[in-house]
Amino acid sequence: MNVELNDQVGFLIELDKLKGVYRRSPLMDGSRYENTAEHSWHVAVCATVFARYATSDVDISRVVRMLLVHDIVEIDAGDTFAYDATGRIDQFDREQLASERIFGLLPADQGKELASLWAEFDALETPDSRFANAVDRFLPVLHNYHNQGHSWKKHGVSRAQVDGRVACIEAAAPSLWPYVAALLDDAVRRGYLAP
């Protein structure tokens, strides 16, 4: 029996649990909450479409791979809402433990590679990770805009909080920023987002 293949299949079976981790963002049509697996797919496609807006030479295939693995740790750690100050206190520790366990299911070389991509995403130290974070933070703005600010209103999020969270978009994809800023301005005007 092929032990490596069994480990890889075991990892894929474990990964299926990501479909049951729900985020605080409803789908754009508001019909239900998005799960983390859907988010990972959507943001990977977003990066592919927005690659032309990156500020520097970005390896889009690395960015896509990074985005496909960046939330895998939520299988164990759960989804921490971006504006949940209490949940963010121990987020790193919860996610680090999850990373070790989940990526440890794979053969050592593959587990190390995916864990490295996951860590790079969080560190925000490379052009690839900065662009990956920019598109990851773009989609919740789009979701909230199209579902009338559901998560923003429900959690009392202000424009200043959103600006702080999405500032990386302006740095990593400056030509995309005017669009984001216009969405946020309009969201405030429409009452989707507190000023």
pLDDT score, position 65: 98
Q: pTM of whole model > 0.85?
A: yes
- Does the residue 195 lie in any domain? no
- Does the residue 63 lie in any domain? yes
The total of structural domains in the chain comes to 1
pLDDT score, position 146: 96
Query: In this prediction, what percent of the chain has a pLDDT beyond 90?
Result: 88
Range of the domain at 27: 3-190
For residue range 127-170, what is the model confidence (pLDDT) as tens digits?
A: 999 999 999 999 999 999 999 999 999 999 999 999 999 999 99
Lowest mean per-residue pLDDT among 24-28, 142-146, 186-190:
24-28
Helix axes 36-50, 60-69, angle to 10 degrees: 170
- Does the residue 67 lie in any domain? yes
Q: What is the sign, positive or negative, of the torsion defined by CA atoms of 15, 137, 44, 31?
A: positive
Give the model's confidence band at 42: pLDDT under 50 very low, under 70 low, under 90 confident, else very high. very high
Contact 98, 75 (CB under 8 A): yes
